[in-house]
Structure 1
């Protein structure tokens, strides 16, 4: 782990690309803390599973009675075969598509989980140093507790990602994204059908494949999205603005996403190998993403933090 010093900074959108949920900016102060230098790897997660016999959300059949509680009223139950254990796997489209509809490149795949990232025929035998994926929020929280750690708050994550720089747009600074293929793993080319792989990878990369930021942290931009402890609320920063100085903010008490008002969500940070300027620009230090606690994808992982004792 790496020790991150205490500090005070302006949290929130740092450019014209800022989404409404990154605003308004406000002053935040965080105490010093430890954070994993890399995203949690398959090797590290394997130790957790071996010690606890833990079964991830993606490895469990779906309980429709529980799932439907968070879906819009009247949602029809799918065929029972579709409720078998599985997860969402990225599949490139054949050509340009409307980027408002992510379902065009995500495929529900029975048998996809952390040990089978692309589906039941795949494995991680030669990928033990890759970040573990298909991790739901509750999986990440369970690992963190077992390891004697916790998930970072959004404020801690953003402060760590800045790497000691003065209000940078990216973990590496302000070098434009088109000149940054050597510093992060993201989608180059036309998303979601033509990846030029200028950074050397189509999918996730082994941890420590790219240079660290100023604090010595690897892959704080791209590679895989990282869960935080904060509940997602699209007006979280407006709520937090009520305090002149937010010290160690831990997010709102309630989750709310107007796009899916019935679905409680948690925040993710850092972007993934799928991020592109035309789609999500998730590699920005202030960029927020959200998903339900029980969801996993083959571009979703995490890293942990620990309080100073």
Structure 2
């Protein structure tokens, strides 16, 4: 872990998405935070020690999802699927997200996949219950949104990115994000279509890696905002009658949501410019995906 001394900073942004507003002063106390996201190797140690089964590995209780189709009530998780042809990113996100039976932290793209070569990649397909179980085992916690954003800024208060005000530095990518026209064309300038090994990109001013890009990260804060979040970014929100997110427009989504921070490898200039410390995203607590992970904190 890395010690973050705490202090005052300017939280949020007035230049991008409405849920990041308003720009406001914030203060956090000192805390320790994982230098990297929790990796597959880390999570495997936890599972070996506790026997934990993740949400994605357990069939949902039909009573929790009244009206859901039987084929959806199986162990499954959401996996990004690259469209085979150009599509409009303004269309339904179900065009590039699929609820895949057998997808879980050990099988990130489906039952025939493996993490054998991904031990140093962030663990994914973890719902809130899974990350809280890991944190409890580790004697740690999740960062608040303010703690997370303060740490991500690396001491650069007010900067657009965790490394300054330019997305590229001397032509080099500073985080694992999407290059090209999301969701069908990724030029792979950074070499990664999905997750990358932790530490593949430079650390920020506090010595933390992958605070931006690679995977979204769970925080301790429940989602609340007086404004409506702009377009749902990169993921699918679930509804009790349909685990795959296919909801009639305007239908209520009563599942509680937590704040995610940091953006992921699916964030792209044409669709989701959330590869910034100020960016935030609401995500249902019962839902795991192939682009969400976490890291822990310790407070004195």
- Whether TM-score is above 0.5 comes out as yes
1:87 to 36, 55, 77: 77
Structure 1 unmatched runs, 5+: 69-75, 237-257
Cα separation, 1, equivalents of 2:170 and 2:256: 37
Point out where structure 2 has 5 or more consecutive residues left out of the alignment: 228-249
Q: CA RMSD in A?
A: 1.8
Instruction: Find the counterpart in structure 1 of residue 161 from structure 2.
Output: 170
Counterpart CA distance in 2 for 1:261 and 1:114 is 26
- How much has 1:100 moved relative to structure 2? 4.6
Contact 1:137/1:294, CA 8 A, preserved across alignment? yes
State the distance in 2 between where 1:26 and 1:178 align.
28
User: 1:43 maps to what in 2?
Assistant: 41
Q: What is the CA–CA distance in structure 1 between the aligned matches of 2:271 and 2:169, rounded to whole Å?
A: 14
- Report the equivalent of 2:12: 12
Task: After superposition, give the CA deviation of every residue in 1:36-62 in whole Å (9 maximum; x if it has no partner).
Answer: 000000000001101110000000001
Select the residue among 259, 271, 275 that pairs with 1:267: 259
Q: 1:105 to 1:25 in 2, by over 3 A?
A: same
Aligned to 1:280: 272
Instruction: Give me the whole-angstrom Cα distance separating, in 1, the residues matched to 2:171 and 2:178.
Output: 11
Partner of 1:202: 193
What's the CA shift for 1:183? 1.1
Matched, 1:126 2:117: yes
Correspondences of 1:1-309 after superposition (within 5 Å): 1-13=1-13, 15-17=14-16, 19-68=17-66, 76-78=67-69, 80-93=70-83, 94-176=85-167, 181-235=172-226, 260-308=252-300
Per the alignment, in what secondary structure is the counterpart of residue 43 of structure 1? helix
Distance 1:276 1:21, change over 3 A: same
For normalisation by structure 1, the TM-score amounts to 0.86
CA–CA distance in structure 1, aligned partners of residues 12 and 154 of structure 2 = 15
Please tell me whether the aligned partners of residues 181 and 198 of structure 1 are also in contact (alpha carbons under 8 angstroms). Answer: no
Deviation at 1:165, TM superposition (A): 1.0
1:64 CA displacement: 2.2
Tell me, what secondary structure is at the counterpart of 1:95?
coil
State how far apart, in whole Å, the 1-side matches of 2:263 and 2:252 are. 21
1:182 positional shift: 2.5
CA change 1:35–1:218 in 2 (3 A) is same
Hey, what's the Cα distance between the residues in 2 that align with 1:297 and 1:35? Answer: 23
Equivalent pairs counted in the alignment come to: 278
Q: Aligned equivalents of 1:219 and 1:180: distance in 2?
A: 19
Deviation at 1:138, TM superposition (A): 1.3
